[in-house]
Amino acid sequence: MAKQVKTKSIEESLWQSCDKLRGSIEPSEYKHVVLGLIFLKFASDKFEERKKELIEEGKEKYVEMKDFYNMKNVFFLNETSRWNYIKVHAKQDDLALKIDTALHQIEKNNPALKGALPDNYFSRLGLDKTKLASLIDEISKINTLDDKETDIVGRVYEYFLAKFAIKEGKTKGEFYTPKTIVNLIAEMIEPYKGIIYDPACGTGGMFVQSIKFIENHQGNKKEVSIYGQEYTKTTYKLAKMNLAIRGISGNLGEKDADTFLQDLHPDLKADFIMANPPFNQKDWRGANELIDDPRWKGYDVPPISNANYGWILNMVSKLSNNGVAGFILANGALSGGGEEYKIRKKLIKNNLVEAIVIIPRNTFYHTDISVTLWILNKNKTKHTKEINKQTKKYRERNEVLFMDLRRKGSVYEKKFIELTKKDIENISQYYHIWQQEDYQNTYKDIAELCYSASLKEIETNNFSLVPSKYIEFVDADSGIDFDTEMKRIQHEFKALLKEEKQSQDQLINAFKTLGYEL
């Protein structure tokens, strides 16, 4: 029997080619090289496809006119911006300059791409021309239009973002939210139509999965408008490219900017908010800045020591009257004291908190801690949604659904956990059953998974939103908040190390006093 040879996927082949850049530039840099080239190849393939259409329609004289491309949402490319031109000149010494020129011309000819593409990036990096030419050859093998149903370029782009996030680890992985977590948020808050907002949009993954959710449920993506903001310049460019590759139009502001200090959408009211803001951000505002910010109206000013509640109140202020928000935060926000306690207490009393979901550990690439998905609902008591033209009534309620998913998921890349498609279906389905008017007949609390707590119960627990205070656990030790316990152990360990170092220093000083040099 002949041995079967495993065929490499496009993503794997490209990743190996990408590794050829090692030694030439830092790994944190070459994602911009690879993703910029993938975008260039995709834009060129789309251009050539449209050009062929015009010729077949007998409109050959219009093949160099921008309007005939823009009308079909295709980017117009000058001759020197097309992939074939880059490929033909791939062995020349000025290849990097030619790529930079091509990207500049594409952005110049297509206003929708303003601020999206790398600016004089390839020339500044001083890339090894042989390695760059080899990468060009590998990308040339991809027919980005071969299978429109599978979104090849989007798939490659997504694969690379995940791979780079894993590779770069704790210091650089913040820009990427694992796809399964984004899928879970989308399935729970159901962004079918209206305005979608992400105040810390990273590379735009929330928007991409929102559009996929709409398409998978036979919705119309033209019925949503996308707004976002991103602080880091290179990530802002990646987000604009990510949306452009998929033909998604969105307003990410005119530039990269700090959401707190320079809100680019001050008057926005969103129907859906999806976000994964930076965890436990310190010194996020000056001591006397943003004290009277309108986003805190009705609440205490979030503490300067941690931005978690600044992000929460920013999102609350952006919600429309029927708006729903799903966002990720570190677990510490569930039970913090001081101003955080006062804000959390008001959020609960205002009946904004709808669900708190603990995500499994090792789900994120830049931290191994368990994190929390919050669902806030601006019109939780009388909420009606139209799904596939069928209206479902939602019950009046003064409760919060707590879910603990730390026993869910499967192993990914040997050390990470990802929620399976079945996990996501079951979790979102259970959440929607709980929301419905006749939930008493269909929903029930499940030990080690979920519990519906009344606002009175939460008040009794001093307004803590830690799920283990409400969900029943079978084993005695299963109710432990493991993240809090781990922090305690780490603190004690650091104290022991400090004591050990002090003892060593004392011993060294004693020897020196006796005249010994160590």
> What is the domain-level CATH number for residue 292?
3.40.50.150
pLDDT exceeds 80 at position 46: yes
Which range of 149-163, 229-243, 310-324 scores highest in mean pLDDT? It is: 310-324
User: 278 and 140, same structural domain?
Assistant: no
pLDDT exceeds 90 at position 8: no
**What's the whole-number mean pLDDT along residues 299-314?**
96
**What's the whole-number mean pLDDT along residues 414-419?**
78
- Going by pLDDT thresholds of 50, 70 and 90, the confidence category of residue 385 is very low
pLDDT in tens, 176-235: 678 888 999 999 999 989 999 999 998 888 998 899 899 888 888 889 999 999 998 888
Residue 405 in any domain: the answer is: yes
- Going by pLDDT thresholds of 50, 70 and 90, the confidence category of residue 517 is low
Q: What is the pLDDT of residue 492?
A: 67
Structure tokens at 425: 């279906």
For residues 432 and 184, give the distance between their C-alpha atoms in angstroms, rounded to a whole number: 12
Q: Mention every residue, 6+ apart, whose C-beta is less than 8 A from residue 104.
A: 117, 119, 120
pLDDT exceeds 90 at position 79: yes
Name the domain boundary from 112, 134, 166: 166
Residue 406 in any domain: the answer is: yes
pLDDT exceeds 80 at position 513: no
pLDDT in tens, 431-460: 999 988 777 678 899 999 999 999 999 999
**What's the whole-number mean pLDDT along residues 37-64?**
93
CB under 8 A, 24+ apart: contacts of 349-354 = 349/455, 351/380, 351/381, 351/398, 351/455, 352/316, 352/376, 352/377, 352/378, 352/380, 353/400, 353/465, 354/324, 354/380, 354/400, 354/401
CA distances (Å), 202 to each of 131, 165, 178, 297, in order? 29, 12, 12, 27
Q: From start to end of 229-287, where are the E strands?
A: 270-275
For residues 476 and 32, give the distance between their C-alpha atoms in angstroms, rounded to a whole number: 49
Q: Which residue has the higher pLDDT, 345 or 71?
A: 345
What are the strands of the beta sheet with 270-275, ordered from one edge? 224-228, 194-198, 270-275, 319-330, 371-377, 353-358, 399-404, 450-454
CA distances (Å), 68 to each of 75, 91, 191, 314, 492, in order? 10, 33, 33, 42, 67
User: 400 and 271, same structural domain?
Assistant: yes
pLDDT exceeds 90 at position 470: yes
Q: Which residue has the higher pLDDT, 16 or 231?
A: 231
User: 143 and 39, same structural domain?
Assistant: yes
Alpha helices by DSSP H, 350-481 = 421-435, 439-442, 455-460
- Going by pLDDT thresholds of 50, 70 and 90, the confidence category of residue 389 is very low
pLDDT exceeds 80 at position 491: no
The pLDDT > 70 percentage for the chain reads: 79
pLDDT in tens, 361-379: 877 766 667 789 999 999 8
User: 419 and 304, same structural domain?
Assistant: yes
Looking at the DSSP assignment, which residues form a beta bridge with residue 198?
228
User: 43 and 151, same structural domain?
Assistant: yes
Give yes or no for a contact between 296 and 313, defined as CB atoms under 8 angstroms apart: yes
Residue 482 in any domain: the answer is: no
| Burial degree of 3 (CB within 10 A; 0-12, 13-18, 19+) | exposed
Q: What's the total number of domains in the chain? A: 3
Q: What is the pLDDT of residue 1?
A: 44
Q: What is the pLDDT of residue 87?
A: 94
For helices 152-172 and 233-245, give the axis angle rounded to 10 degrees.
160
Q: What is the pLDDT of residue 2?
A: 46
User: 202 and 87, same structural domain?
Assistant: no
Q: What is the pLDDT of residue 28?
A: 64
User: 195 and 71, same structural domain?
Assistant: no
pLDDT exceeds 60 at position 93: yes
pLDDT exceeds 70 at position 263: yes
Name the domain boundary from 117, 139, 166: 166
Residue 5 in any domain: the answer is: no
Q: What is the mean pLDDT of the chain?
A: 83
Residue 313 in any domain: the answer is: yes
User: 220 and 123, same structural domain?
Assistant: no
Question: How many Cα atoms occupy the beta-carbon half-sphere of 347 within 13 Å?
Answer: 30
* Terminal C-alpha separation, the chain: 68
- Going by pLDDT thresholds of 50, 70 and 90, the confidence category of residue 36 is confident
pLDDT exceeds 50 at position 417: yes
Q: What is the pLDDT of residue 83?
A: 96
Give yes or no for a contact between 128 and 122, defined as CB atoms under 8 angstroms apart: no
Nearest alpha-carbon partner for 123 in 102, 103, 145, 94? 94
Q: Which residue has the higher pLDDT, 170 or 270?
A: 270
pLDDT exceeds 50 at position 171: no
Q: Which residue has the higher pLDDT, 113 or 84?
A: 84
Q: Which of 136-150, 252-266, 432-446 has the lowest mean pLDDT?
A: 136-150
Q: What is the pLDDT of residue 366?
A: 61
CATH number, residue 15 = 1.20.1260.30
pTM over 0.85: no
User: 226 and 86, same structural domain?
Assistant: no
User: 505 and 444, same structural domain?
Assistant: no
pLDDT exceeds 70 at position 239: yes
Q: Which residue has the higher pLDDT, 251 or 392?
A: 251
Q: Which of 109-113, 310-314, 405-409, 415-419 has the lowest mean pLDDT?
A: 415-419
- Going by pLDDT thresholds of 50, 70 and 90, the confidence category of residue 279 is confident
Residue 483 in any domain: the answer is: no
Q: What is the pLDDT of residue 423?
A: 92
Q: What is the DSSP letter of 436?
A: B
Q: Which of 11-15, 113-117, 346-350, 423-427 has the lowest mean pLDDT?
A: 11-15
**What's the whole-number mean pLDDT along residues 467-487?**
69
User: Among all chains, which residue has been given the structure tokens 């998905």?
Assistant: 373
* Coil/strand/helix, residue 278: coil
User: 275 and 307, same structural domain?
Assistant: yes
Residue 4 in any domain: the answer is: no
Residue 463 in any domain: the answer is: yes
User: 369 and 225, same structural domain?
Assistant: yes
Supply φ then ψ for residue 74, to 5 degrees. Answer: -115, 135
Q: What is the pLDDT of residue 170?
A: 47
Its domain, for residue 147, covers 10-166
Q: What is the pLDDT of residue 67?
A: 92
